[in-house]
């Protein structure tokens, strides 16, 4: 998927909506026998690969699932510690799924409010008066586009660098917000958006934008 | 009124009679509930405010107008774009104060009061007070504190309906970045 995530940030910098696309490319599931030839370590409540790389499993990847059952931080679904479990030869052969560690919702909240502050710095650093905040952030793997409305709400989209048409996508997301979130009388302003119609229409709009946008290789 | 996922046209046509009836039912129910015209006026203003804070985003998303830099620009946008978009009428702007912080919107016909007559026992009811709340709420979300009130009303025997808008101050707290 060429559009990776969508974030909506309210006036105070709080994250009120978040959507991530699921990218199976970033994950690898393999069967292992004892002893494990990858070195695992515990870091930040997650089990990560510290050393050893093969078959699509890289350093920094986290253990996502063991034998098909999703792992919960450093514990398996049954409550056993992952490192202990994998250190015991009786549990082998075992199938482990590795992948890029996903951000927890707390981390996403923190990143959103950090972005909110950075956005303001963008306009303060400007040599010209009345500059906007950060509109685009570019790295080699993605481009972050941000649109701030006159009322202070920010719509942030992370997409493939080659993806075109994100500006009109941002405006479309603004329209979808003003329709399915604001016109829902049970939705309170500035609060997290939990409206199904908003989700559905957002996904539709993302699909349309992806089809219309990328014309490069790998799309 | 249900919305389909793909909206081809910009706005859906709806009978204005249904709108007049709905608004009328709202006002009469409020009169029954509160019995006191002043309270009804306050409730209408509050309801209008809640509509206004949501309507402004819809307006900005659809109309693509940029930020207004002074009250005159604001007045123009309100009369020529907003009223036209939502009520289908274009009020005229008159009676600017010397300092440029007050103006009047003159509505020749007000869609809310088609077929309405105010009885004598509700002489201090401001029937269309919802509109004042909407204007106040919408402008507050774009950092302008204003006061809106009816000074003439066709329901009370005046020739036209006149809303007086007064600019109070710019709302400085929680300014979006880049708007200083």
| Rg over CA atoms, chain A | 21
Contact A178 B141 (CB under 8 A): no
Tell whether the torsion through CA atoms of A186, A190, A192 and A195 is positive or negative.
positive
Nearest CA in chain A to B68: A150
Q: Which of chain A's residues have a Cβ under 8 Å away from the Cβ of B57?
A: 149, 151, 153, 174, 177-178, 182
Least confident residue range of A67-71, A126-130, A208-212, B5-9: B5-9
Copy the structure tokens of residue A87.
């250190």
User: What pLDDT sits at residue B1?
Assistant: 41
DSSP A33: -
Model confidence at A49: pLDDT above 80: yes
DSSP states of B15-64 as a string?
Answer: -HHHHHHHHHHHHHHHHHHH-SHHHHHHHHHHHHHHHHHHHHHHHHHHH-
At A192-201, the pLDDT tens digits run: 999 999 999 9
Nearest CA in chain B to A9: B176
pLDDT by 10-residue block (mean), chain B, 180 residues: 43 80 92 91 95 94 88 92 92 91 91 87 91 95 93 89 92 72
Copy the structure tokens of residue B11.
């706005």
Nearest CA in chain A to B65: A150
Query: What percentage of chain A has pLDDT greater than the value 90?
Result: 37
Q: Is A119 within 8 Å of chain B by CB?
A: yes
Spatial distance between the Cα atoms of A170 and A176, rounded to a whole number of angstroms: 10
**What 3-state DSSP class applies to B121?**
helix
Q: Which of chain A's residues have a Cβ under 8 Å away from the Cβ of B142?
A: 150-151
> What Cα–Cα distance (Å) separates residue B130 from each residue in A52, A73, A207, B116, B168?
67, 52, 39, 15, 20
CA distance, residue B3 to nearest chain A CA (Å): 9
User: What pLDDT sits at residue A89?
Assistant: 80
Give bridge partners of residue A3 from the DSSP assignment: A159
CA distance, residue A194 to nearest chain B CA (Å): 17
User: What pLDDT sits at residue B179?
Assistant: 65
Spatial distance between the Cα atoms of A149 and A178, rounded to a whole number of angstroms: 11
With contact defined as beta carbons under 8 Å apart, do A119 and A110 qualify? no
With contact defined as beta carbons under 8 Å apart, do A193 and A187 qualify? yes
Q: Which of chain A's residues have a Cβ under 8 Å away from the Cβ of B5?
A: 200-201, 204
With contact defined as beta carbons under 8 Å apart, do A23 and A16 qualify? no
Average pLDDT over residues A139-165: 91
CA distance, residue B142 to nearest chain A CA (Å): 5
Q: How far is CA A38 from the centre of its chain?
A: 26
Q: How far is CA A76 from the centre of its chain?
A: 23
Copy the structure tokens of residue A119.
């956005």
Least confident residue range of A167-171, A184-188, B171-175: B171-175
Give bridge partners of residue A19 from the DSSP assignment: A6
Q: Is B4 exposed, middle or buried (0-12, 13-18, 19+ CB in 10 A)?
A: exposed
User: What pLDDT sits at residue B28?
Assistant: 92
Q: Which of chain A's residues have a Cβ under 8 Å away from the Cβ of B66?
A: 150
Highest mean pLDDT among A41-55, A61-75, A92-106, B58-72: B58-72
Q: Is A146 within 8 Å of chain B by CB?
A: no
Model confidence at A215: pLDDT above 60: no
DSSP states of A190-202 as a string?
Answer: TS----HHHHHHH
Spatial distance between the Cα atoms of B80 and A208, rounded to a whole number of angstroms: 33
User: What pLDDT sits at residue A97?
Assistant: 84
Please choose, from the candidates B115, B116, B107, B70, the residue with its C-alpha nearest in 3D space to the C-alpha of residue B86.
Answer: B107
Compute the mean pLDDT over every residue in chain A, rounded to the nearest whole number.
Answer: 85
Spatial distance between the Cα atoms of A105 and B165, rounded to a whole number of angstroms: 44
Contact B177 A182 (CB under 8 A): no
Contact A151 B54 (CB under 8 A): no
Q: Is B34 exposed, middle or buried (0-12, 13-18, 19+ CB in 10 A)?
A: middle
Spatial distance between the Cα atoms of A110 and A181, rounded to a whole number of angstroms: 23
pTM of the entire predicted model = 0.83
User: What pLDDT sits at residue A138?
Assistant: 93
At A9-25, the pLDDT tens digits run: 999 899 999 998 877 66
More confident residue, A102 or B139: B139
Nearest CA in chain B to A189: B54
Beta strands in chain A (DSSP E): 3-9, 15-20, 27-32, 39-43, 46-51, 62-66, 69-70, 94-99, 136-138, 143-148, 154-159
Average pLDDT over residues A182-191: 91
Contact A151 B57 (CB under 8 A): yes
Copy the structure tokens of residue B12.
């859906």
Spatial distance between the Cα atoms of A48 and A81, rounded to a whole number of angstroms: 13
Cβ count near B47 (within 10 Å): 17
**What 3-state DSSP class applies to A204?**
helix
Query: Which of A 18-57 lie inside 8 A of B, CB atoms?
Result: none
| Rg over CA atoms, chain B | 17
Q: Is A177 within 8 Å of chain B by CB?
A: yes
Q: Is A98 exposed, middle or buried (0-12, 13-18, 19+ CB in 10 A)?
A: buried
Kindly provide the ipTM of the predicted complex, given to two decimals: 0.84
Element counts in chain A: helices (H) and strands (E): 4, 11
């Amino acid at each position: 998927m060429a559009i990776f995530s969508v974030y909506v940030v309210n006036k105070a910098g709080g994250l009120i909506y978040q959507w991530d696309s699921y990218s199976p490319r970033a994950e690898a599931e393999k069967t292992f026998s004892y002893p494990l030839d990858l070195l695992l370590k515990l870091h930040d409540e997650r089990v990560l690969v510290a050393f050893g790389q093969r078959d699509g499993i890289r350093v920094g990847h986290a253990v996502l699932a063991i034998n098909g059952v999703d792992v919960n931080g450093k514990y398996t679904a049954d409550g056993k510690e992952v490192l202990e479990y994998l250190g015991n030869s009786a549990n082998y052969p075992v199938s482990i799924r590795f992948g890029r560690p996903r951000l927890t919702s707390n981390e996403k909240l923190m990143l959103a409010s950090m972005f909110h502050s950075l956005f303001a710095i963008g306009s303060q650093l400007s040599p010209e008066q009345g500059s906007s905040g950060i509109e685009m952030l570019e790295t080699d793997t993605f481009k972050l586009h941000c649109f701030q409305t006159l009322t202070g709400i920010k719509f942030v989209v992370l997409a493939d660098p080659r993806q075109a048409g994100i500006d009109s996508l941002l405006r479309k997301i603004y329209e979808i917000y003003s329709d399915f979130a604001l016109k829902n009388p049970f939705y309170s302003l500035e609060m997290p958006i939990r409206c199904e119609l908003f989700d559905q229409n957002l996904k539709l709009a993302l699909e349309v934008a992806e089809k219309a946008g990328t014309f490069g290789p790998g799309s | 009124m249900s919305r389909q996922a793909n909206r081809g046209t910009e706005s859906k046509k709806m009978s204005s009679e249904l709108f007049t009836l709905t608004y009328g039912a709202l006002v009469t129910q409020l009169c029954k509930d509160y019995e006191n015209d002043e309270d009804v006026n306050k409730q209408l203003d509050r309801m209008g405010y809640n509509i206004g804070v949501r309507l402004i985003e819809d307006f900005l998303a659809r109309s693509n107008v940029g930020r207004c830099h002074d009250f005159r620009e604001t007045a123009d946008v309100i009369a020529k774009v907003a009223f036209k978009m939502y009520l289908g009428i274009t009020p005229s702007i008159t009676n600017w104060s010397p300092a440029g912080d007050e103006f009047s919107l003159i509505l020749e016909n007000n869609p809310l009061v088609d077929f309405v007559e105010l009885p004598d026992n509700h002489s201090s009811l401001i029937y269309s007070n919802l509109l004042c709340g909407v204007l106040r709420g919408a402008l507050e979300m774009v950092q302008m504190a204003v006061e809106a009130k009816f000074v003439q009303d066709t329901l009370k025997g005046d020739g036209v309906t006149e809303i007086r808008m007064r600019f109070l101050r710019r709302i400085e707290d929680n300014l979006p970045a880049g708007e200083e």
